[in-house]
Amino acid sequence: MIIRAATPADEQQWSTLRAAMWPEDSADSHAEEIRRFFREEWHLPSAAFLAEQDGTAIGFVEVSIRPYAEECYSGNVGYVEGWFVIPEERRRGVGAALVAVAENWARDQGCMEMASDAALDNRISAQAHAALGYAQVAEVRCFPKDL
C-alpha cells in the first residue's frame, strides 16, 4: 500500500470513494468538488491523499485548516474533512496511515492541533477516531434554514 497526494488523474477513483462515504450527494457533485479542488477553488487551505493498493484507490483523506474547532484554541487547526477506507480494507492500518499523513500535512502548515467530526450515529467512525487518540469533546446537532 502507498499513500500519495491526489492528482487530477485520480478523479474517477476519488469520486467513487467519496460517493461511498457520502451517498446522499450525486456523482456529478463529487466530480465537481474534485475539479474545484484541483482548480484551488475550495475556500480553505486543503489537501487530499489516497491510499492505493496495486493501482487501485482503497481509501482517502481530505484535510483543511480551520480557524476553530471544538475545544481547539490555536486559531490554526488541521481538520479532517473526510476520511474513508473501503470496508474490505478496514482494520488493516489503512485509515491510521491516511490520518498520519493528514496530521503531518497539518504540522507542515504550522498547525499544533488536529480535529475531526462524525455524525452522531456513526459509531464506526467514533471508534476509529478514538483508536487514533482523538477524544470526543462535544455532540452537536445542526439546524440549517434557507432564507
Q: What is the pLDDT of residues 68-98, one digit of tens each?
A: 898 899 989 999 999 999 999 999 999 999 9
How is residue 58 written as a grid cell?
482503497
44 pLDDT exceeds 70? no
- The answer to whether the pTM exceeds 0.85 is yes
Distance of CA 94 to the CA centre of its chain: 13
Return the pLDDT at 142: 81
Secondary structure letter of residue 75 according to DSSP: S
- The pLDDT of residue 110: 95
Average pLDDT over residues 7-35: 93
Q: How far apart are CA 41 and CA 61, in angstroms?
A: 18
Query: Is the pLDDT score of 45 beyond 70?
Result: no
Instruction: Supply the DSSP string of 22-36, one letter for each residue.
Output: -TTS-HHHHHHHHHH
Which of the two residues, 26 and 40, has the higher pLDDT score?
26
Question: Quick one: how far is CA 14 from the chain centroid?
Answer: 12
Contacts of 31 (CB under 8 A, 6+ apart): 11, 15
